[in-house]
């Protein structure tokens, strides 16, 4: 059916551009800006904190160049930020009146300003460790980013990968077990990738070969992996945790020179091997998806499988092996839980990260780099909750717990424009 309607749809859009532009202009951006500006007014200006000053720590102890802490007056900062936020909201409203879109950088500036104001208010009397906040962001984002890469590859090929959660978890479990037994974290990484691969084999086989509903297979796989790893954890790993669940963690590797740069250095260039692999993976996928034969064919089976078939591309095989590749990547990312951060496997330790990764895929419009940025945003929201929990904030901790998920909902609800999925995403290709 889609093939039938595609051509005329394209025709119409081409024609309609000439006819008239947008009778419907979205008021989403100015309304959202307005709400947040009001929130800023209520919190920062009408409810000022007793403490007068807020510190921002900009260096870690190990930095080559030490920058002194930045101390700002909490109330004045709040007032300035609030005024700026209202100004942006107003400008955005004017843009909409003129039937123009709010550019993305305005959204980013708004978000950063709000964050500065919020931190100045919430951490009044304390010092916000900015590098710590960002380092934690990267840490928490690593599995999200690997998961998002798995999702991008799989969905670009037309298979919805709900099983990212299961792939991450199987990777975490397997890497802990293998790294502990062999005393070699590299073998643990390999095992994690294979575990993710095996989970995605099941997804691929059912979704691509047997046309089973992809969402259902994915959900069932998640439940299966959670059950299986929890069972093995209780019955096997815990029985002999010293030999089976105490993997050697990867050490941080400082990249010479780069790791000495203030703020950025410790955040990006003093990380474990898994994170460096992640940088390479994102770059390679972003390039390969759009510039290589592999990427062209993968996208073609996700957009219009019949067209791919008629030029001799094996749709089923392309989908199956790319879902598998995605699974291996997600499994690899799962190893970060055990070999990169925590140092041991725990029950359900992925805690829904696979689903947030899926949200990052959508928020990132199925683009590897944008999905990575989205994952970083979610990671930041999670870590902000942690950091404010430590320094103590006036916002109830229950609200802070909601933060990452609220960010996810707002992001996916399309604040940054409509996402357009690959046309055949989630649709099995059944040859008649």
Residues engaged in binding other proteins (CB under 8 A): 1, 3-4, 6-25, 288, 291-294, 296-297, 299-300, 303-304, 306-314, 418, 423, 431
Q: Which is nearer to other proteins, 62 or 291 (CB)?
A: 291
Select from 241, 219, 238, 218 the least CA-distant residue to 230: 238
Helix (H, G, I), strand (E, B) or coil at 87: helix
- The alpha carbon of 386 is separated from its chain's Cα centroid by a whole number of angstroms, namely 17
Report the relative pairing of strands 53-57 and 127-129 from DSSP bridges.
parallel
Q: Which is nearer to other proteins, 185 or 302 (CB)?
A: 302
CB of 304 to other proteins, least distance (A): 5
CB of 1 to other proteins, least distance (A): 7
CB of 22 to other proteins, least distance (A): 3
**DSSP labels, 114-175:** HHHHHHHHHTTTSEEEHHHHHHHHHHHHHHHHHHHHHHHHHHHTT---TTHHHHHHHHHHHH
Report whether 207 contacts 370 (CB < 8 A). no
**Radius of gyration over alpha carbons of the chain, in Å?**
24
Helix (H, G, I), strand (E, B) or coil at 53: strand
**CA separation for the pair 282, 278 (Å, rounded):** 6
CB of 164 to other proteins, least distance (A): 24
Q: Which is nearer to other proteins, 11 or 51 (CB)?
A: 11
Under DSSP, the state recorded for 102 is: P
CB of 97 to other proteins, least distance (A): 15
Q: Which is nearer to other proteins, 308 or 387 (CB)?
A: 308
Q: Which is nearer to other proteins, 235 or 420 (CB)?
A: 420
Q: Which residues contact 351 (CB under 8 A, 6 or more apart)?
A: none
Q: Which is nearer to other proteins, 28 or 252 (CB)?
A: 28
CB of 306 to other proteins, least distance (A): 6
**DSSP labels, 362-400:** HHTTT-HHHHHHHHHHHHHHHHHHHHHHHH--SS-HHHH
CB of 282 to other proteins, least distance (A): 18
**CA separation for the pair 381, 379 (Å, rounded):** 5
CB of 422 to other proteins, least distance (A): 8
Q: Which is nearer to other proteins, 351 or 423 (CB)?
A: 423
Q: Which is nearer to other proteins, 137 or 300 (CB)?
A: 300
CB of 121 to other proteins, least distance (A): 38
Strand partners, 55: 71, 127
- Return phi, psi of residue 73, to 5°: -70, 125
- Return phi, psi of residue 257, to 5°: 65, -60
Q: Which is nearer to other proteins, 242 or 418 (CB)?
A: 418
Select from 202, 204, 169 the least CA-distant residue to 352: 169
Report whether 331 contacts 178 (CB < 8 A). no
């Amino acid at each position: 059916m889609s093939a039938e309607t595609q051509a005329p749809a394209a025709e119409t859009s081409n024609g309609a551009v000439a006819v008239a532009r947008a009778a419907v202009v979205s008021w989403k951006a100015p309304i959202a800006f307005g709400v947040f500006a009001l929130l800023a007014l209520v919190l920062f200006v009408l409810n000022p904190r007793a403490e007068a000053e807020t510190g921002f720590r900009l260096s870690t102890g190990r930095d080559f160049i030490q920058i002194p802490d930045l101390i700002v007056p909490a109330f004045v900062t709040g007032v300035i930020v609030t005024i700026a936020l209202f100004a942006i909201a107003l400008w955005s409203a004017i843009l909409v009146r003129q039937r123009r879109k709010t550019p993305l950088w305005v959204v980013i500036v708004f978000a950063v300003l709000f964050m500065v104001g919020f931190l100045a208010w919430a951490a009044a009397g304390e010092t916000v460790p900015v590098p710590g906040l960002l380092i934690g962001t990267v840490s928490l984002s690593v599995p999200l980013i690997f998961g998002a890469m798995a999702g991008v590859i799989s969905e670009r090929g037309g298979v919805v990968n709900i099983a990212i959660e299961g792939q991450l978890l199987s990777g975490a479990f397997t890497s802990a077990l293998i790294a502990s037994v062999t005393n070699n974290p590299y073998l643990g990484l390999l095992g994690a990738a294979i575990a993710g691969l095996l989970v995605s084999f099941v997804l691929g086989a059912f979704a691509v070969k047997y046309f089973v509903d992809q969402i259902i297979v994915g959900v069932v796989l998640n439940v299966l992996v959670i059950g299986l790893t929890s069972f093995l954890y209780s019955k096997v790993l815990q029985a002999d945790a010293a030999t089976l669940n105490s993997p050697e963690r990867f050490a941080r590797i400082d990249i010479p020179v780069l790791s000495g740069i203030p703020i950025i250095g410790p955040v990006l260039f003093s990380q474990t091997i898994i994170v460096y692999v992640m940088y390479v993976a994102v770059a390679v996928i972003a390039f390969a998806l759009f510039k290589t034969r592999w990427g062209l064919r993968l996208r073609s089976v996700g957009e219009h499988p019949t067209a791919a078939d008629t030029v001799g591309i094996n749709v089923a095989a392309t989908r199956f092996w790319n879902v598998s590749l995605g699974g291996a990547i997600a499994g690899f990312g799962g190893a970060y839980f055990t070999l990169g951060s925590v140092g041991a496997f725990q029950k359900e330790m992925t805690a829904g990260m696979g689903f947030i990764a899926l949200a990052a895929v959508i928020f990132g419009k199925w683009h590897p780099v944008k999905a990575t940025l989205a994952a970083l945003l979610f990671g930041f929201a999670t870590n902000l909750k942690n950091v404010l929990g430590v320094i103590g904030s006036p916002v109830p901790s229950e609200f802070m717990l909601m933060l990452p998920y609220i960010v996810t909902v707002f992001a996916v609800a399309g604040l940054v424009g409509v996402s357009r999925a690959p046309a055949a995403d989630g649709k099995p290709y059944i040859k008649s």
